[in-house]
Amino acid sequence: MELIKQGAEAKIYLADFEEYFGADLLPGERVVVKHRIPKRYRIKEIDEKLRKERTVREARVLHRAKEFGVNCPYVYEVNLRDMIIVMEFINGERLKEHLENVSMEERLSLCREIGRQIGRLHEAGIVHGDLTTSNMILREGEVYLIDFGLADFDSTLEARGVDLHLLRRAMESTHYTWFEEGFKAVLEGYGGVLGEKARREIEEKIEEIESRGRYRERGWLKA
Catalytic site residues?
Answer: 130
How far is 10 from 20, CA to CA, in rounded Å? 18
Given CA atoms 39, 45, 49, 52 in this order, what sign does their dihedral have?
Answer: positive
Q: How many Cα atoms occupy the beta-carbon half-sphere of 49 within 13 Å?
A: 5
Residue 86 near residue 58, CB atoms below 8 Å:
no
Residue 186 near residue 115, CB atoms below 8 Å:
yes
User: What is the Cα 219 distance to its own chain's centre?
Assistant: 32
How far is 122 from 96, CA to CA, in rounded Å? 22
Residue among 91, 95, 80 nearest 17 (CA): 91
C-alpha triplet 125, 30, 110: angle, nearest 5°: 50
The one-letter amino acid at 107: R
3-state SS assignment for residue 83: coil
